[in-house]
A and B are shown apart, each in its own frame.
Chain A
Amino acid sequence: DAMVIQNPRYQVTQFGKPVTLSCSQTLNHNVMYWYQQKSSQAPKLLFHYYDKDFNNEADTPDNFQSRRPNTSFCFLDIRSPGLGDAAMYLCATSSTSGSDNEQFFGPGTRLTVL
């Protein structure tokens, strides 16, 4: 009964080789988020989708893109990964119809860049 699923859990890519991380949800939430989390740091919001509306954070590098083809799925594309992009990537969802704005997180994908 997993609610926010991320695949793969571990991803290894080469410097400069495009990579896509995927997230799916069974909660029918209208908001989906992508966070980058480096060791011993807070999750850093990269962008989020409010329904179909894409909201990019001002300091998210152009190297990071996202797609949300439908309510259930959201993808994170890293066009040319650098060594500094190695991190845990967390997907989360929330519903704006809820009263407490709780975010539900997936288990994360740990990205290694060689």
Chain B
Amino acid sequence: GEDVEQSLFLSVREGDSSVINCTYTDSSSTYLYWYKQEPGAGLQLLTYIFSNMDMKQDQRLTVLLNKKDKHLSLRIADTQTGDSAIYFCAEIASASKIIFGSGTRLSIRP
């Protein structure tokens, strides 16, 4: 079955880059997503990448996809305190269903 794995915690210094990694199992996934969850809130789509792409950049966010290794990463440049949140990697499992990883809690230190 489908499975998405992430490391649970990441701590970076304010102003540095954050890199959150994810591995997935379903090679047929057409879309891969990064969702952000702030404390006490629902999930919000940050960005996504289509499976025929290797990279997608959106302002401070860069998504890299290595299909051979089934590895997805999210890089946040110039990390700010407002970036503190839990980041979920997700892959599409069917037309109306996605599978989430367990989330990476990003904390920012001064």
Contact = CB atoms under 8 A, between A and B. Distances in A.
A21 interface: no
B42 A40 contact: no
Given A43-B43, A107-B41, A101 B96 contact: yes
Given A40-B102, A100-B31, A100-B48, A90 B42 contact: yes
Nearest to B4: A42
Nearest to B93: A45
Interface residues of B, number: 22
Given A90-B43, A105-B44, A31 B103 contact: no
Q: 4 closest Cβ contacts across the A-B interface?
A: A105-B42, A42-B100, A105-B43, A42-B102
B100 A106 contact: no
Q: Which of A42, A55, A106 has the most CB of B within 10 A?
A: A42
B96 A48 contact: yes
Interface of B: 4, 8, 31, 33, 40-45, 48, 88, 92, 95-98, 100-103, 105
Interface in A45-62: 45, 48, 50, 55
B40 A107 contact: yes
A13 interface: no
A40 B8 contact: yes
Nearest to A45: B97
Given A55-B96, A105-B42, 8 more contacts: A42-B88, A48-B96, A92-B42, A96-B95, A96-B96, A100-B31, A100-B48, A104-B45
